[in-house]
């Protein structure tokens, strides 16, 4: 479009080529330090109309693009907010509630694991009240599984999260329950050893205690 610029230098009249893009011509004017006021009267009104139409089209196009990306962006925002709630539970009431509910169920689960080994008369409480402990264990493990999957989904770095000690503890803590569901006949023998790993859930409490985290950092 320099032909129109050099013509302006030669004749003192700046015209807008009707077959060109108004926005491109405006960029050309900006580059050479001209304003649209330099346009000759015969072209000024037409140029402003074309430029306005072009800007409106670009604005509508941007809105369509933003609307198309809105679900994806909303999903990313939801992940970020969820991770922030897990990582910093003190930020709001709901995050704090999730934090304490998880801690309560960890305590219940560990207490139930210990109570199963206590004698209730001639047999262990775990055998005598097998149905009750199974229901309690199912509720706790379901909650722990949902929490782990939500953490895994929302974390910015999944592989790094999966390698963390507490993440491994989370998996080890729920694994015996699912193995027992898949292979009920394994409740005797090797699976008896796996059930001991449920006690690792007490380590999950460190997520809910700053003092426990400080003690772990000191040991490390």
Give the largest CA-CA distance in the chain. Answer: 113
Name the class of domain 2-78.
alpha beta
State the span(s) of the chain assigned CATH 3.30.710.10.
Answer: 2-78
State the span(s) of the chain assigned CATH 1.20.120.350.
Answer: 94-213
Query: CA–CA separation, 117 vs 127, rounded Å?
Result: 9
Query: CA–CA separation, 57 vs 51, rounded Å?
Result: 10
Nearby residues of 48 by Cβ (< 8 Å), 6 or more positions away: 36
Residues 38-77: pLDDT tens digits?
788 777 777 777 778 777 777 777 777 766 666 666 666 7
Half-sphere CA count of 88, side-chain side, radius 13 A:
5
Question: Does pTM surpass 0.75?
Answer: no
Residues 114-172: pLDDT tens digits?
888 888 888 888 888 888 888 988 898 898 899 889 888 888 888 888 888 778 878 87
Q: What is the DSSP letter of 19?
A: T
Name the class of domain 94-213.
mainly alpha
């Amino acid at each position: 479009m320099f032909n129109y610029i050099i013509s302006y230098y030669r004749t003192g009249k700046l015209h807008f080529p009707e077959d060109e893009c108004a926005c491109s011509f405006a960029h050309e004017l900006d580059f050479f330090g001209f304003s649209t006021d330099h346009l000759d009267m015969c072209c000024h009104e037409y140029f402003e109309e074309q430029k306005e139409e072009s800007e409106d089209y670009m604005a509508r196009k941007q809105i369509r693009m933003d609307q198309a990306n809105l679900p994806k962006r909303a999903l990313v925002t939801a992940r970020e907010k969820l991770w922030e709630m897990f990582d910093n539970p003190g930020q709001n009431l709901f995050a704090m509630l999730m934090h304490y509910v998880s801690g309560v169920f960890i305590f219940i689960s560990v207490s139930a694991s210990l109570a199963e080994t206590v004698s209730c008369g001639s047999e262990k409480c775990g055998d005598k009240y097998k149905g009750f402990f199974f229901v309690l264990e199912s509720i706790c493990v379901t909650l722990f599984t949902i929490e782990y999957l939500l953490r895994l989904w929302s974390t910015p770095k999944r592989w790094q999260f999966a390698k963390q000690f507490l993440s491994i503890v989370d998996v080890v803590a729920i694994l015996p329950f699912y193995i027992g569901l898949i292979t009920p006949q394994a409740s005797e023998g090797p699976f008896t050893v796996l059930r001991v790993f449920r006690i690792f859930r007490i380590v999950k409490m460190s997520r809910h205690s700053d003092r426990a985290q400080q003690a772990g950092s000191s040991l490390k």
